[in-house]
Amino acid sequence: MSGNFNFHHTNTALLSVKSVEAPVVVSSPEFDERLSPSLKRLRLSKGLLERVAGVSERRWWAPGTTFEDGAIEAGAKAMAEAGVEPSQIGLLINTSVTRRNLEPSVAVKIHHHLGLPSSALNFDLANACLGFVNGITMASNMIESGQIDYALIVAGEDSQGVQEATFGRLNREDSTRQDYLREFATLTLGSGAAAAVIGRAADHPGSHRILGGVSRAGTEHHELCVGSEGGMYTDTKGLLDGGLELVVTAWHEAQGNGWDWQGMDRYVTHQVSNSYTNAIIKAVDLDRERVPITFPRWGNVGPASLPMTLAQESKTLAPGDRVLCMGVGSGLNTTMMEIAW
């Protein structure tokens, strides 16, 4: 059976969304220098990351700082912005792709350092770059069912380790052009963190209402982008084609099911590259001026990418603005979620 999954929320709101930029800026020309032995040997030109992907720089965490530290900082900032005490949080969901070990969950350290109560559920939710939006949906359901009053959703990402490992592989004497293409997307990743507090709309008049949206699976494409601690391997063209088809199909069915997203004030998308963003804008006829772009300076920060962009845009959004969050995660899955600002 084919079709969208539709979800609606009647009494949940985004009370805050905050981001933390990793402080160490690493430019694409610096990456070219790190890869100069293989680029020369394979007769590949420098500047591909900027010309093809549109990524000029990305960020790494400072020595001694971890992605978990970033998520903890973002979480503290989000709670302060929302005016919610740690003791009021009933649910913490960590949506990071990055993790240091298989167990325990990343969430437990964040829960501990934020001083959340023992009654607060805490766990990891992994769905590639869609994890943060999925976390908001899950938290909204629990709030509307009366199980919790407030939820904290976090994501912290660290691209340095996987990129350092990629430099090593691509600079080996036996690496090929095909190897470079398969690992090219890894070089576009970035580090950063984001957090959001979700609460009951009725308790916070004037807050940003989470209205709902649609999700759709295209899991026949589950082998197009596969990542692990050692590296990420991507069929770039296949991922673009499959993701575009999935988004377009979900978009058109959503319009037929009563969602009217053609005239949104802002389209906050998962940040990947020039080609992906341009293809989405053209395929569903978005107003380019209403699609904020952050990947040139942050790179692809995984599930933290969309909320980091939303946090940036929150400074210029006005009450009554309509915002559509749009993302695609490896696997493939897509989700579109509307927020009434």
Task: Find the catalytic residue in 50, 68, 73, 129.
Answer: 129
Helix ranges, the chain (H): 28-34, 36-41, 48, 67-82, 106-113, 131-144, 160-170, 177-183, 236-256, 274-283, 295-298, 305-313
* DSSP structural state of residue 211: E
Q: Quick check: helix, strand or coil at residue 245?
A: helix
Token reading at 278: 């341009």
Q: Distance between the two ends of the chain, CA-based, in angstroms?
A: 34
Q: Rounded distance, CA 299 to CA 96, Å?
A: 16
* 208: phi then psi, degrees, rounded to nearest 5: -90, 105
| 315 Cβ contact partners less than 8 Å away, ≥ 6 residues apart | none
Q: Rounded distance, CA 209 to CA 186, Å?
A: 35
Q: Which amino acid is at 208?
A: H
Is 220 catalytic? The answer is no
Q: Quick check: helix, strand or coil at residue 104?
A: coil
| 77 Cβ contact partners less than 8 Å away, ≥ 6 residues apart | 18, 20, 195
Is 129 catalytic? The answer is yes
Which active-site residues does the annotation give?
103, 129
